[in-house]
């Protein structure tokens, strides 16, 4: 399994070869692949890799099942916040527990096909999110975004960056303000890399510049992604997102969260139920391996924060735009999607 090593971007485009599920787990842990949907799809292929290796050694159905289960357990321990990882592992469990498979080889093939379907679905979902998001605006707008939510963070196209891509394609994008996103610099390293490649107009800013831009009337909307959305609409995303939402409320600027429906965790009643990953101190005390703080400096480094639902103007999903998310509206929306799966239409709520 080959992954573009995102820790090396933008300086070098290095492809990493994962030969064992342990390599995939390590790549996720080290954020060589990151972004909620990309983590989930990489994990799906990690399970497929383990199943195929077992099948290649002539393993029985039971042994391939055991290999898939062990791989899933290992991958579930990589990063705790993004819920899609856990949703995808649960979906694959249904596949490897299917009693109707008669050989280890056939089971490994089923798991691989399921991983491929998950990847394809992510790409389709992103395009729909992009298009729903673009129809929110009827004139060229200046969007501020945080972290990286583009092709690198997903399978293709992106979520918040998908909205930006669709706006650009439709001639409704005046420019993008890209937060550098301390300390991992996903904005500076990855979003800037993607936007330059696509010739989408943008400026890179330090995270603390957002407020003065808003005060100067230079931001029409903030669009960010999400790692997990509680059923009341509280949203976990990259650290710094909550601050942007507070700034938007003060300045009267709409704040949108663009994310697949699979980001909604029905088992999380509110933001307090979302586990927030804390990462190693050296990510804060070093920049590109160079120390920037005295040795021994104590650090607190949560990788995500939670934006309360009442600061969110709308969720932009593959099924449409859900304005003013709260528990009742999200539960109705989830029920509507279940009905839609049985034949009803899509649209705004
Ligand atoms: O720590 P990361 O880089 O995995 O965090 C990524 C984010 O917070 C993204 O905004 C989120 O995963 C959505 S990606 C489409």
State whether 90 and 137 are in the same domain: no
State whether 181 and 292 are in the same domain: yes
State which residues form the domain around 206. 127-341
Interatomic CA distance for residues 145 and 217, integer angstroms: 16
Interatomic CA distance for residues 243 and 248, integer angstroms: 9
Name the residue of 165, 178, 186, 265 to mutate for ligand 1: max ligand atoms within 8 A of Cβ: 186
State whether 268 and 239 are in the same domain: yes
Ligand 1 geometric centre to CA of 166 (Å): 20
For ligand 1, atom 5: residue with the closest CA: 35
Query: pTM, whole model, 2 decimals?
Result: 0.96
Ligand 1 geometric centre to CA of 171 (Å): 27
Sheet with 314-317: strands ordered across: 202-205, 173-179, 141-145, 221-224, 255-258, 314-317, 320-323
State whether 271 and 205 are in the same domain: yes
Give the ligand 1 atom nearest the CA of 146: 10
State whether 80 and 142 are in the same domain: no
State whether 100 and 137 are in the same domain: no
Does residue 208 lie within any of the structural domains?
yes
For 127-179, the pLDDT digits (tens) are: 999 999 999 999 999 999 999 999 999 999 999 999 999 999 999 999 999 99
For ligand 1, atom 10: residue with the closest CA: 225
Name the residue of 227, 229, 241, 244 to mutate for ligand 1: max ligand atoms within 8 A of Cβ: 227
- Regions of the chain where pLDDT drops below 50: 349
Ligand 1 geometric centre to CA of 59 (Å): 37
CATH for 91:
1.20.120.420
Give the ligand 1 atom nearest the CA of 304: 8
Enter the tokens of residue 8.
């090396």
Give the ligand 1 atom nearest the CA of 154: 15
State whether 175 and 317 are in the same domain: yes
State whether 94 and 135 are in the same domain: no
Interatomic CA distance for residues 92 and 89, integer angstroms: 5
State whether 316 and 184 are in the same domain: yes
Ligand 1 geometric centre to CA of 147 (Å): 7
Task: Report pLDDT for 289.
Answer: 87
For ligand 1, atom 6: residue with the closest CA: 35
- Which residues are tagged catalytic? 227
Q: Taking CB atoms and a 6 Å cutoff, what residues make up the pocket around ligand 1?
A: 34-37, 82, 147, 149, 153-154, 159, 186, 225-227, 237-238, 303
Task: Report pLDDT for 299.
Answer: 98
Task: Report pLDDT for 239.
Answer: 98
Question: For residues 242 and 307, is the Cβ–Cβ distance under 8 A?
Answer: yes
The last residue of one of the domains, among 106, 126, 146, is 126
**Which residues face 107 on adjacent strands?**
none
Ligand 1 geometric centre to CA of 39 (Å): 9
Does residue 271 lie within any of the structural domains?
yes
Task: Report pLDDT for 204.
Answer: 98
**Which residues face 306 on adjacent strands?**
236
Percent of the chain clearing pLDDT 90 (strictly above) = 95
For ligand 1, atom 15: residue with the closest CA: 149
Name the residue of 223, 226, 283 to mutate for ligand 1: max ligand atoms within 8 A of Cβ: 226
**At 17, phi and psi to the nearest 5?**
-105, 120
Give the ligand 1 atom nearest the CA of 184: 3
State whether 133 and 120 are in the same domain: no
Task: Report pLDDT for 288.
Answer: 81
For 64-95, the pLDDT digits (tens) are: 999 999 999 999 999 999 999 999 999 999 99
The last residue of one of the domains, among 126, 159, 187, is 126
Does residue 347 lie within any of the structural domains?
no
Does residue 285 lie within any of the structural domains?
yes
Does residue 154 lie within any of the structural domains?
yes
Does residue 348 lie within any of the structural domains?
no
Interatomic CA distance for residues 207 and 222, integer angstroms: 13
Give CA angle at 271 (283, 35), nearest 5°: 45
Ligand 1 geometric centre to CA of 303 (Å): 10
CATH for 169:
3.40.50.10470
Does residue 346 lie within any of the structural domains?
no
Give the ligand 1 atom nearest the CA of 39: 4
Domain total for the chain?
2
State whether 20 and 106 are in the same domain: yes
Give the ligand 1 atom nearest the CA of 277: 1
Task: Report pLDDT for 2.
Answer: 96
State whether 164 and 308 are in the same domain: yes
For ligand 1, atom 8: residue with the closest CA: 238
CA contacts within 13 A on the Cβ side of 4: 14
Ligand 1 geometric centre to CA of 150 (Å): 9
Enter the tokens of residue 337.
């999607």
The last residue of one of the domains, among 82, 104, 126, is 126
Task: Report pLDDT for 300.
Answer: 98
């Amino acid at each position: 399994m080959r992954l573009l090593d995102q820790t090396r971007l933008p300086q070098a485009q290095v492809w990493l070869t994962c030969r064992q599920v342990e390599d995939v787990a390590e790549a996720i842990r080290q954020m060589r692949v990151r972004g909620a949907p990309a983590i989930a799809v990489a994990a799906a292929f990690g399970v497929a890799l383990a199943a195929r290796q077992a099948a290649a050694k002539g393993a029985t159905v039971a042994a391939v099942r055991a290999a898939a289960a062990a791989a899933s357990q290992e991958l579930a321990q990589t990063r705790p916040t993004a819920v899609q990882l856990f949703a995808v592992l649960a979906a694959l469990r249904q596949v490897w527990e299917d009693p109707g498979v008669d050989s280890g080889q056939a089971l490994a093939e089923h798991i691989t096909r399921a991983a491929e379907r998950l990847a394809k679905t992510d790409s389709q979902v992103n395009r729909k999110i992009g298009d729903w998001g673009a129809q929110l605006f009827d004139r060229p707008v200046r969007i501020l975004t945080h972290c990286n939510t583009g092709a690198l963070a997903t399978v293709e196209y992106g979520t918040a960056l998908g909205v930006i891509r669709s706006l650009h394609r439709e001639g409704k994008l005046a420019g993008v303000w890209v937060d550098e996103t301390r300390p991992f610099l996903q904005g500076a390293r990855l979003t800037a890399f993607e936007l330059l490649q696509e010739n989408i107009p943008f400026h890179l800013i330090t995270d603390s510049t957002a407020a003065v831009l808003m005060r100067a009337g230079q931001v029409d909307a903030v669009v960010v992604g999400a790692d997990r959305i509680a059923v009341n609409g509280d949203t976990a995303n990259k650290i710094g997102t909550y601050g942007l939402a507070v700034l938007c409320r003060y300045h009267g600027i709409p704040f949108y969260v663009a994310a697949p429906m699979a980001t909604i965790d029905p088992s999380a009643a509110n933001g307090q139920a979302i586990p927030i990953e804390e990462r190693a101190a050296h990510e804060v005390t070093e920049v590109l391996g160079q120390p920037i703080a005295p040795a021994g400096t104590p650090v607190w480094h949560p990788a995500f924060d939670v934006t309360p639902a009442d600061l969110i103007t709308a969720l932009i999903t593959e099924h449409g735009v859900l304005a003013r998310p709260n528990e009742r509206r999200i539960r109705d929306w989830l029920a509507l999607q279940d009905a839609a799966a049985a034949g009803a239409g899509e649209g705004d709520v």
